[in-house]
Amino acid sequence: MEWGPIILTFKLAFITTAILLVVSIPIAYWLASTKNRFKPVLETLVSMPLVLPPTVLGFYLLVAFSPSLFLGRFLNEWFGLKLVFSFEGLVIASIIYSLPFMVHPIQSGFANLPSSLVEASSVLGKSRIITLFKVLLPNIKPSLLTGLVLAFAHTIGEFGVVLMIGGNIPDKTKVASIAIYDEVESLNYASANAYSFILFAVTFAVLLAVYLFNGGYMKRFLK
């Protein structure tokens, strides 16, 4: 077993989760507060990765980012970004793939807050941005944490999308889930087990931490 794929997996998960947090808060806020008639369309798009086979998503991303087609060529020529079979491409794909896992908890967190909180804040002369950061976000911490952890764990567990768009390039796109598949293919069960066990243990620990925190158990321990 090598540490490369494990390190790469966590690097991917950290970067993806961080970007997702920034991207998801405005989307979730908009979805929770709007009555716009296009809301169902955006909601559907956000939720698609939940039901779509990862290979479908990976296939279309592969096509879209392909240097021989418009978007891929544009990104390559103007920004020097090569998104097929590269780490950057994996990050973009992971963001799309894990989007619902971050947006949904935050959206329901916002929706569960009484609307009078926003109204009270605006009557007190505070802008929407200040209201978001001082009133809304601090009151949905459990939802934020749930979103962060689900997106993180989901990115760690990615396989189909990564295989389609990233391939199997050591230290660039060979993440742990790919490495496991690789080792099993070559009948290397011991290293496959090592990778698997690490993913198993980490995922268990992360989820347990969330349930402890959100269930208020942590506070009892710390007292």
Does the footprint of other proteins cover residue 213 (CB under 8 A)? Answer: no
Tell me how crowded residue 153 is: count the other CB atoms within 10 A of its CB.
20
Identify the residue among 35, 80, 138, 205 touching other proteins (CB under 8 A). 138
Q: How far apart are CA 208 and CA 223, in angstroms?
A: 19
Nearer to other proteins, 73 or 128 (CB): 128
Nearer to other proteins, 135 or 210 (CB): 135
Nearest in space to 214 (alpha carbons), one of 107, 105, 132: 105
Beta strands in 85-180 (DSSP E): none
Choose the stretch contacting other proteins; rule: CB under 8 A; options: 80-88, 96-104, 133-141, 197-205: 133-141
Nearer to other proteins, 13 or 118 (CB): 118
Identify the residue among 51, 123, 187, 222 touching other proteins (CB under 8 A). 123
By CB atoms closer than 10 A (0-12, 13-18, 19+), residue 138 is exposed
Nearest-approach distance from CB 53 to other proteins, in angstroms? 41
Identify the residue among 126, 160, 182, 191 touching other proteins (CB under 8 A). 126
**Total residues belonging to the chain:** 223
95 neighbors 200 (Cβ within 8 angstroms): no
44 neighbors 103 (Cβ within 8 angstroms): no
Interface of this chain with other proteins, residues 56 to 115, rule: CB under 8 A: 114
84 neighbors 98 (Cβ within 8 angstroms): no
Does the footprint of other proteins cover residue 50 (CB under 8 A)? Answer: no
Interacting residue ranges for other proteins, rule: CB under 8 A: 114, 116-117, 119-127, 134-135, 138-139
